[in-house]
Amino acid sequence: SIIAYSWGAHSMTPCVRNAFIITSADGTSDGEVLRYDQSFALRTTAGFDGELFLASDHKTFLKCAKKSRLQELSLVEEFDFLRWWKVIYFDPQERLENEGYPVQVNSKVLISHCKTNQCLAALVFIYLFGFSLFGKEYELTARTFLDSHKAERDNTTDDKQEDTQIKECS
C-alpha cells in the first residue's frame, strides 16, 4: 500500500524529510562500500510511519505523477524488486570502466531504478504547492532526461524545451 507520494525542496539541511538510508538489496552486508551498478534500496528512518521504501513502477493511465503525468515515486512498506535502485556513473563515455568501483563522495551520479531504468528527477519547472517551510516544492519523478544524442543530461538545463516536450506528451 502506498503511504506517501514524493515531492521535494531545495533545502540541503538534512532532516527526516530528505534523508534516506541506503539498504542492501543484493545481500551485501551492512556497512560495505556502495559500488557503481550495485543494487540497493532507499528507506526512511524508523519513525512515526516506520521504515518506508522509495518505490517506482512503469506509469499507467491511472498510476502516474500528479502534475507531470510521468513515472511516479512513492513511499511504501513492502520490500520487493520495485524498490531496487542503482548508482550509475554520470559520464556515459566512462560508465563501463567505472562499473564495480566504489562510488566517490560528492561526485555527480545518476540514481537509476532497476526495473524501469529511469533515473530520479526533481522537476524544477513544476511547482506543487508553492512555498512551504522548506522553500519551493517540486515534483519528484523517475525520468531519465536525454539530450539530442540520447545521452543522459542534467535536468536543470534548458527547462523551457523540456516543459514544452512534457506538455506535448500530455
Chain segment 120-168, per-residue pLDDT in tens: 877 766 555 556 666 677 777 777 777 777 777 776 554 444 443 443 3
pLDDT for residue 7: 55
- Matching residue, cell 523551457: 160
pLDDT for residue 162: 45
Number of neighbouring beta carbons within 10 Å of residue 18: 13
Which domains are present in the chain? 2-169 (2.80.10)
pLDDT for residue 95: 92
Exposed e or buried b for every residue in 25-60, given b needs 16+ CB within 10 A? beeeeeeeeebbbbbbbbbbeeeeeeebbbbbbebe
Report which of residues 57 and 113 the model is more confident about: 113
pTM of the model: 0.74
Tell me which residue of 65, 74, 71 sits closest to 3, measured CA to CA: 74
Chain segment 43-69, per-residue pLDDT in tens: 888 776 678 888 888 777 777 676 666
Chain segment 58-106, per-residue pLDDT in tens: 777 777 676 666 777 878 888 888 899 999 999 989 999 999 999 999 8
Please answer whether residues 4 and 75 qualify as being in contact, where contact means their C-beta atoms are separated by less than 8 angstroms. yes
Burial of 79 (0-12, 13-18, 19+ CB in 10 A): middle
- Matching residue, cell 514524493: 6
